[in-house]
Structure 1
């Protein structure tokens, strides 16, 4: 899915350059569009950096490997039945991480759900009319356990009609690759945001402050408002929610949200409004945020409390319809007081 709550980066007190401890610091800012959304990359360095070509290169290779919206990408060709593709290192890494999170979430994170995502009208392929018989039929093509990589890195499917869609993890992975690019250039302080998902390293050394970001209020559907502010230092953040991305059936007027439950095949309507995950890398945060939106709320609470690698913030409705918030202990320590 990719699908997300837009997280607004609140960059506190940045200026173009100034003197601090006799060291000149430059603010480098790159903004643009990629992966069907917008991006903003702010870095602080000892000299002015021209990163545009490097950024474009990262997005280009990600798209060539993993974009279902580009007909000639590797994943699109595989989905069309091309078994000759030996997938690249990025595809291998995303596939391996997907397998791991699929297991950890008991199948609620599942990149083979793309067949259902398309059928419900949220993917690049043609939407179809859905009923219980059609859903039961399509569920035969869902299950990441039905897909593997052989020794030559060719994708092997139990059924040729299985459709892979890594959109619920690929954006986070792209952010991780951008971070790796900056790390390779020796940049030690930066904030990367793509479509509301973020990775932060170091801090705003110009003002000697940690990066501060805002998380959207899921109940503000007309005017964007910030629910909470958090310090994001040396962490990745991804959010997911159903409240902004949905489809209205033209004939019945029924609302279908974008999270598809891979267990049932239906779009997930639940009392979970929004999930925000902090993790060591954005691909992991991205995938878990998606999975938790599809899970039963109590199961989601249990998972994030037991997984010491994750911190979580969940906004939900209780049995009376009142808005409540759940935070792991570690997440609370990041909240700006």
Structure 2
């Protein structure tokens, strides 16, 4: 009987067909929207779990929450005891600050406010030269010091804003949470910052990401400059074409060069960065914008874990694009 049962088992093996389901959670966080898509046999992540994660991050890193750790630090005369979120972001920010020679700098909050960004209800106005010089004396991530789990000020007027890296970090935190739940096929997006792992199921196709065209207008449907597919990693985009105001006929963009004290003005329109994780991609994209096309391209080409796609204006004002060799491998072959 055992022999017969073995033959039956070999001839008619039990079905191993995996039933995949697609789960999608959408919501609002950090002043923008988020979307989490994952493929699994059953639901193991819900909106309330994600909201709990975002609430903990906001309690640490939101400059709009007066009780958050970052607000406590900005209002202090010396130091604050960091939680794990705060410490992770500060440490990575210090590393990117060093690597970009100060072009990525989380101490720019006073500069952003001087130019009319960062405060609600404030009418944006262009600051005078004296104010910019005064503010710049109190800028520099090198003026922050970590001792154990405490963050200290070397300059009492230092105030920080991690909005240039916090969304990428939040994406990573959510992605890590999904992986703790044994989810290996997912896409996490917060405010356009994205991290992907695995494929669509059950088709096995790579997930596609659209890089938004900088010529979009609010009253027109979205159009995409390129469609890319990556097996695993993060993609973030920085551009100077969305957040700006006009003053005396001049366009004042929200991206600042911390070394000059003025908004970034060069040939770049947007930079899309690929990296293994979203905190890295998000941290570098603004710095690359500040470099301009030539320096940014050279910078990325020397770093094995970074790839980039650039949209820029040539000397005649014509909008063009280019990318590093590694990034071209992600672009849908029908798109270029």
TM-score (normalised: structure 2): 0.90
Consecutive unaligned residues in structure 1, runs of 5 or more: 1-19
Shift of residue 203, structure 1, vs aligned partner: 0.5
Rg: which structure is higher? 2
Q: Distance in 2 between matches of 1:55 and 1:281?
A: 19
Q: 2:23–2:37: 8 Å Cα contact kept in structure 1?
A: yes
Shift of residue 21, structure 1, vs aligned partner: 6.2
SS in 2 for 1:62: helix
Which residue, out of 101, 109, 114, partners 1:106? 101
Query: Which residue of the partner structure matches residue 243 of structure 1?
Result: 241
SS in 2 for 1:23: coil
Consecutive unaligned residues in structure 2, runs of 5 or more: 1-14
Query: Which residue of the partner structure matches residue 118 of structure 1?
Result: 113
Q: Distance in 1 between matches of 2:271 and 2:150?
A: 34
Bigger mean CA offset, 213-222 vs 327-336 = 213-222
Shift of residue 293, structure 1, vs aligned partner: 1.2
Q: 1:148–1:155: 8 Å Cα contact kept in structure 2?
A: yes
Query: Which residue of the partner structure matches residue 22 of structure 1?
Result: 17
- Structure 2 counterparts to residues 195-210 of structure 1, below 5 A: 195-210=191-206
Q: Does 1:176 align with 2:175?
A: no
Q: Assess, with a 3 A threshold, how the Cα gap between structure 1 residues 157 and 181 changes in structure 2: closer, same or farther.
A: same
Instruction: Note the alpha carbon deviations across 1:87-107, whole angstroms, 9 max, x for none.
Output: 011111111111111111111
Q: Distance in 2 between matches of 1:67 and 1:213?
A: 28
Q: How many residues align?
A: 315
Q: 1:83–1:154: 8 Å Cα contact kept in structure 2?
A: no
Q: 1:260–1:268: 8 Å Cα contact kept in structure 2?
A: yes
Query: Which residue of the partner structure matches residue 131 of structure 1?
Result: 128
Q: Distance in 2 between matches of 1:221 and 1:310?
A: 30
Q: Distance in 2 between matches of 1:115 and 1:208?
A: 48
Query: Which residue of the partner structure matches residue 229 of structure 2?
Result: 231
SS in 2 for 1:220: coil
Over aligned residues, Cα RMSD in angstroms?
Answer: 1.6
SS in 1 for 2:81: coil
Q: Which has the higher contact order (CA 8 A, sep 6+)?
A: 1
SS in 2 for 1:287: helix
TM-score (normalised: structure 1): 0.90
Instruction: Note the alpha carbon deviations across 1:97-128, whole angstroms, 9 max, x for none.
Output: 11111111111000011110111122137566
SS in 2 for 1:273: strand
Q: 1:113–1:164: 8 Å Cα contact kept in structure 2?
A: yes
Stretches of 4+ aligned residues off by more than 4 angstroms = 125-129
Shift of residue 58, structure 1, vs aligned partner: 1.2
